[in-house]
Amino acid sequence: MDERVNVAVLDTGSALRFPRECPCCGRPADTRVRVTKIFARRSLRGTAWVHSHADVHACVSCARAHETVVRPPAAVVREATQQQALHVLPVVGAGGSVAVAGTMLATIGEVAAARHSAALDPATIAALGLGIAGIGVGLMAGGWLARRLVVVPADWPDAQYAVDIPSLLGARTIITAPTSELARAVDFSDDRRDAGTASWRTFSFARETYARQFTRLNAPRVYDAQQPQPRRPMPLRWRIYSLVGAALVIALAWLILG
Residue 93 lies in a domain: yes
Alpha carbons 199 and 231: distance in angstroms, whole number: 9
96-110, 140-154, 207-221, 227-241: which has the highest mean pLDDT? 207-221
Share of the chain above pLDDT 70, in %: 58
Query: What average pLDDT score do residues 202-215 get?
Result: 93
- Whole-number average pLDDT of the chain: 76
CB 162 within 8 A of CB 177: yes
Residues 92, 219: one domain?
Answer: no
Residues 31, 47: one domain?
Answer: yes
Residues 67, 188: one domain?
Answer: yes
pLDDT of residue 66: 94
pLDDT digits (tens, 9 = 90+) for 5-38: 999 898 776 789 999 999 999 999 999 999 999 8
Centroid of chain to Cα 234: 15
pLDDT tier, 169 (very low <50, low <70, confident <90, very high otherwise): low
pLDDT digits (tens, 9 = 90+) for 49-93: 788 889 999 999 999 999 999 988 888 878 777 777 776 667 667
Q: Where is 192: in which H helix or E strand?
A: none
Q: Which domain-ending residue is among 96, 125, 147?
A: 147
- In terms of pLDDT, which residue wins out, 30 or 167? 30
Residue 209 lies in a domain: yes
Q: Which domain-ending residue is among 147, 169, 198?
A: 147
Q: Is 44 exposed, middle or buried (0-12, 13-18, 19+ CB in 10 A)?
A: exposed
pLDDT of residue 44: 76
Question: How many separate domains does the chain show?
Answer: 2
Q: Which of 33-42, 136-145, 164-173 has the lowest mean pLDDT?
A: 136-145
Structural domain harbouring 37: 5-71+177-246
User: What is the DSSP pairing of strand 186-188 with strand 172-176?
Assistant: unpaired
Q: Which domain-ending residue is among 132, 147, 162?
A: 147
Residues 62, 90: one domain?
Answer: no
3-12, 137-146, 165-174, 249-258: which has the highest mean pLDDT? 3-12
